[in-house]
Homo-oligomer: A and B are copies of this chain.
Amino acid sequence: MTRTMHKWVVRQPGAQHLAFEEAAVPTPGANEIVVRVGAVSLNYRDLGVIAGEDGALSLPYPLTPGSDMAGVVVATGAGVSRFREGDAVIGTFWADWIDGEWPDHARVIGGALPGVLAQYVVLHQDWAVAAPRSLDAIKASTLPCAGLTAWFALAEKGAIRAGQTVVVQGTGGVALFGLQIAKAHGAEVIVTSSSSAKLERARALGATHGIDRSVQPRWEEAVRELTGGRGADHIFELAGGENLGASLRAVRQGGRISLIGVLGELSMTLPSVPSFLTRPVIQGIGVGHRRALDELVRAIDATKIEPVIDTVYPSERLPEALAHLKRGAFGKIVVDFAE
């Protein structure tokens, strides 16, 4: 194994302070594994972490950002039973959320804990799962956050069934995973977007209908029409603000609205009377646990879902990748660490 490597470090808040620094390749302690990183997919929250804003959390500087990684185990510490050298793995987004309810002591990799934008990372063996056999590292790296968020909303919490209708707002990473996971369960999918070109691409991925918000700003009425008045069974709320009220008008009686990483708006507004007469379940989704990630991996292998990658950047061009993410992407932006 080489003795040195490069990793991205930000020593003070601000993207201008990102540096691809040389560092020693880590060695594993007890219960730890060292992973040679193959690829890291980016999430919108990485922009916040680099800028020094991660919700209410205070971040430890210097820090390495990045939460979603696929790679290969190259060393294992004492007591490691889950993996062996050579195993292809993906990391978890939350360290120590294994199953059931989110525990207080769970922390984010690439937040309170060191991130994965590095050639080698060291992780507790509990913070990784076997990668899907059907995906390469570029594609597998998209599962821990965006993939799992969509899976958790639809399959773990949502009991998605064939014949239901799912609405996803926009064409970002979570939205397109929502589309693909819903389709894999036999559901119909309505995508909303302000770009007819993106809607065309969403249809090519299997979307049943697209609603062009630049033409039809009251998208909720279009959803009602497309479902014969019934409303959608599941809605991914990704916009916030007044849009939540529209989601409520678009959801069916007793349907489900998943609140997912709403970053564009500081608050959301719900009209009162429809809130109880529609009897919806409105549920916050904050990624998910490791048991569900294992199940997503099995589902990926069984259904041959191919995560949608907008662009792959080589590892040394992270700043360009982040700039692209900020502009908006169709699916995921991935940073390639393969040598």
Contacts and interface: CB of A to CB of B under 8 A. Distances in A.
Nearest to A242: B267
A235 to B, nearest CB: 14
Nearest to A291: B100
A196 B31 CA distance: 48
A269 B105 CA distance: 29
Which of A260, A268, A295 counts the most B-chain CB atoms under 10 A from its CB? A268
A262 B254 contact: no
A185 B273 CA distance: 29
A291 B101 contact: yes
Interface string A187-203: 11000000000000000
Interface residues of A, number: 68
Nearest to A149: B276
Interface stretch (A33-41, A140-148, A159-167, A327-335): A159-167
Contact of A161 (B56, B102, B283, B295): B295
Interface in A262-291: 262-263, 265-286, 289, 291
Nearest to A276: B284
Contacts of A276: 259-262, 284-286
Given A266-B272, A300-B163, A102 B244 contact: no
B269 A278 contact: no
Interface in A192-251: 240, 244-245
B188 A162 contact: no
Contact of A286 (B159, B268, B279): B279
A284 B252 CA distance: 12
A161 B291 CA distance: 14
A20 B89 CA distance: 48
B187 A186 contact: no
A286 to B, nearest CB: 5
Interface in A152-190: 155, 159-164, 181, 184-188
A194 to B, nearest CB: 20
A298 interface: yes
Nearest to A254: B101
B102 A303 contact: no
Given A99-B100, A284-B279, A265 B272 contact: yes
B280 A284 contact: yes
Contact of A283 (B81, B102, B267, B282): B282
Contact of A268 (B160, B164, B275, B301): B275
A186 B268 contact: no
A59 interface: no
A181 to B, nearest CB: 7
Contacts of A295: 161, 163-164
Given A265-B272, A266-B271, A268-B272, 15 more contacts: A56-B273, A81-B105, A161-B185, A162-B299, A163-B297, A163-B298, A185-B185, A185-B186, A186-B302, A259-B272, A259-B275, A262-B276, A263-B272, A268-B271, A274-B284
Query: What 4 A-B pairs are tightest by C-beta distance, nearest first?
Result: A99-B100, A163-B299, A163-B298, A100-B100
